[in-house]
Structures are given as C-alpha cells and as structure tokens.
Amino acid sequence: MSKKPKAVLTPEAAAAVDGLAAEVLQDARTTLTVHLRFLDRALGQMGPVASRQSGGAAPEDFRFGTDGRHLYYDAFQVLWDYKEQPTLVAHKYLHSLLHNLFCHRYGCQDLDHKLWNLSCDMAVELQILNLDLPFAEVPVQERQRHELFLLEREDSRFGHMTADQIYRFWKDRELTDAQYALLKEVFAMDDHQLWYQRPASEGAQTNDPGEEMEKVWRELSRRLQSELELMQKDRKGAGDLVQSLKELHRRQVDYQKFLKRFGQMAETMKVSEEEFDYPYYLYGLEHYGNMPLVEPLEYSEQKMLRDFVIAVDTSGSVGGPVLQSFLQLTFDLLNQDDTFFSRMNLFLIQCDDRVRDAVRISSVRDFEAYTDRLVIEGLGGTDFRPVFQYIAEQQKKGAMPQLQGLLYFTDGNGDYPQKRPPYPTAFVLSDPAFLKDVPPWAMRLTKTKEELEDVGT
C-alpha cells in the first residue's frame, strides 16, 4: 500500500487539501452506491472524518481505516492514492466497509493481532475479487490472485474462507516474517489501529463504539444477507458473500441444550418445583402438629438421555488434543444431575474410515473411567458410513432398543451416508468450513478448536 509524501502546508493550503480529499471520498462513495446499491445503508453508517479533525480519535500517524462508527482518513493519503490509481480510493473504501459488515474489530482483543489483521485483510480482498468490480479494480489484485493460487494448492478451500478460517489456517502453520511481510504488502489496504484501542479512563471520552455499534453492524449485515439471497443470481460473486455472512450469523447453540434435543420425556423421582405449593405445605406443619396438608409431588417430567451413541472421528485431520477436549466437555455436561438417568445405555465409538473401538457405558462413572484411560485408535482417513452400519447391526441384535440419536464429532471432511437413518443424527464440527457438506437431514453444530482449547482452562 503506497504511503503519502511528507508535506508542510499553510492553513489555507491545508484547508484546500481537506476539501479536495472530501470530494474524492464522496465520489468514491457515490460510485459504490451506484454499482452496489445493496450497500447503501452500510455506507450511510460509516461517515468519513479527516483524521486531523477527529479530536484525537485517530492517532497522528493514522492513514485510512474505520473504528466502526466513522471512516477516518488522512487527506494527503487520499489524494496520493487518487493520483497513483483513481480506483484505489473506492477499493479501500469498500475494503474498510466490509471489515465493519463482517464485524472484524469486535472480539479480537485476545487474538494474535498480527495474524488477525492479515486474516481479515485477506478475507475482505477475497470478497472483492469474487465480486469482480471493474470500478474498484487495482493492479495489486493480480498479485493477490497469484498468492491465493499458491495457497489453494495447499488447501483447496482457501479461496472461500472467512477471516476466522484463515486465522486458524495461519495458527496451524509457521508463517515466516518474510511470508508475512509479502502477504501484508499484497492484501493490506487500511489501518487497524483503532480496532485495539482500549476505552479511555473513567469520565473521559472513549473512541470505542462499544457493544451498540456491534449490534448495529450485525443487524446491517443480516439485512444485507437477506437482500443478497434474493439477488445473488444477478450478481457475480454474491454467493460467496452470502455464505460468508451466513457464517458470521450462524446461531451459537448452547452445547448442553443441543444435547438435550435428543432427550425424551420421562418420570424422575424428584420434587416438581413448578407444581408444589410450599406455603400450603408449611401452613400444615406449623398449625396441625407437623402434619402437611399436601404431600410434595415426587416426580417431574424432564428431558433425559438414555439409549444414545457418541462417535468421535479419530482420523489424523481431527487430532488427539481436540478430541480429548470434546470428550471432557461432553462428560462435564453429562455429569450434571438432570441430564442422564442414573443408569444409561451409551455407546462410545472411535472411528476413522472404519469402526476402531466401541464401548458400552451404563453410568457416568463408567464414562469418566473410559475417558481417563482413553487411547486414540485409528488416525486414518474419514468415512462416516461405517458407524451407521455398526448401529444398524447392533439394533438387529437388540442392543439399542430405545435409540434416541447419534452425536458425531468430526471436522466434517468425509463421506456421508446417502440415506437418512431412522433416528436423529447430529454432527458437531471442529471446522465450520465443512458445514455446507453436512446432509440436510442431520443437525449440525460447530465447536471450533479454539473453543475446545478453552475447556478446563
């Protein structure tokens, strides 16, 4: 990204520069509005503000970028960019806008800033490339295509990854300083300094738009997703943009509630808090010689898990630590009083391209003992079908008379059954990139490596 030259101007000349820069930015915004009308609301939310007129909101060395509320720019930088390549200003404007629509600045404080910045820039430039916009085309895009071609040879999904997925891609690899410098030069278009600004001291003005701005941008991106779903046949690259927005808005289902979807209504010997009248009960104890006027109901109906299968993918693509974390999380939830019967019929299956190990567990204590001595079996390819075949064989033998469902933990990259099984099935994916591959008859949930790494910490 080219840098503006140093210059010292009189106040009159500086005012003229500011005016010209504002006109260039207004022209860029008009161009984006004319060609991408679906971005009209979003463009109206991000008002341009000259950095030297920001009252200290933008650092002195700030060139071009957004904090979620405004688009801050250095007037000299805008004019320099326009002189170098007139389409560059519209390109950078769109680049910063997409950062907001994908909420890249929110929740990034605890991430590796260097890798997150690069991942977000690459994700945004991917979207712009896929949209194929002649009015925002810049020469560096040829280099971008070349670098993406090389990366897609390593992972074919790279051309359609979100920022989160690209971040995980780099976290799993050792990115050298030279590689980072090259990719930053090719993909970086704006300044992310404002993303990491901490709120000012109490009582002072803060530059952080906060949770309210995040809500605004999430709502704008939801509207954009809905509009694009209606028009994506008429807009090249809109399908990729819709898919990325869907990934942003996928519902984060509580894992405990997700487990209980497999439950069944059953009587449990437990006081029903909703139906029991405590005042009437205590009145009898106080006035009639410890004689209650009503006995507590000793049952309540709750959803429980009984006959159930948990399959874990032990292929090399998932990895032992992630699998161990998943089992630990599952055990912690199953170990709660109202989740399982005191006796259960649970099958734990390890599998890659075949069933490697299958254990029947009848109590939470057995589950804990199994996970404590767990030895990973497999580490081959991934094929989900053998598990379904194994379950069918067990049902024929009468081993699973009340099967309530199958929970399959995997990265999602494998061969799925063609036909829907006669019981509920859910795939818990460690990699959201494969969500689209899960058959429509199955429930799906993601538990990323980062989320599972937090288990027990």
Contacts for 104-111 with beta carbons within 8 Å, 24 or more apart? 104/163, 104/195, 105/66, 105/67, 105/68, 105/192, 105/194, 105/195, 106/68, 106/214, 106/217, 108/195, 108/196, 109/196, 111/167
Cβ atoms 424, 441 nearer than 8 A: no
Query: Across the chain, what does the average pLDDT equal?
Result: 79
Burial 167-194 (b: 16+ CB within 10 A, else e): bbbbeeeeeeeeeeeebeebbbbbbbbb
Q: Which backbone phi and psi does 339 adopt, to 5 degrees?
A: -95, -45
pLDDT (tens digit per residue) in 328-381: 777 777 666 445 545 567 889 998 888 998 988 877 778 778 877 777 776 677
Residue 284: what pLDDT? 55
pLDDT digits (tens, 9 = 90+) for 265-279: 444 444 444 444 445
Determine the pLDDT at residue 440: 79
CA distance 78 to 438: 46
Q: What is the pLDDT along the chain (457 residues), one digit of tens a residue?
A: 555 555 666 778 878 888 999 999 999 999 999 999 899 999 999 989 988 776 667 777 788 999 999 999 999 999 999 999 999 999 999 999 999 999 999 877 778 899 999 999 999 999 999 999 999 999 999 999 999 999 998 888 787 888 888 988 898 788 899 999 999 999 999 999 999 876 544 444 444 446 788 889 988 998 888 888 776 655 666 777 887 887 776 644 566 666 666 555 444 444 444 444 445 445 555 555 555 555 555 444 444 556 789 998 887 666 667 777 787 777 777 666 445 545 567 889 998 888 998 988 877 778 778 877 777 776 677 899 999 999 999 999 888 887 888 989 888 888 899 888 988 888 888 877 787 788 878 888 877 766 665 544 4
Sign of CA dihedral 73, 79, 82, 84: negative
- The answer to whether the CB of 122 falls within 8 A of the CB of 179 is no
Each domain of the chain, given as residue ranges in start order, spans 11-196+209-249, 255-266+305-453
How many residues can be counted in the chain?
Answer: 457
Q: How many CB atoms lie within 10 A of CB 339?
A: 18
* Measured distance CA(73)–CA(2) in Å, rounded: 14
Question: What confidence tens digit (pLDDT) does each residue in 195-247 have?
Answer: 987 654 444 444 444 678 888 998 899 888 888 877 665 566 677 788 788 77
d(CA 416, CA 386): 10
pLDDT at position 232 is 60
Q: Is 73 exposed, middle or buried (0-12, 13-18, 19+ CB in 10 A)?
A: buried
Q: Which residues contact 54 (CB under 8 A, 6 or more apart)?
A: 70, 72
pTM over 0.95: no
CATH number attached to the domain at 255-266+305-453: 3.40.50.410
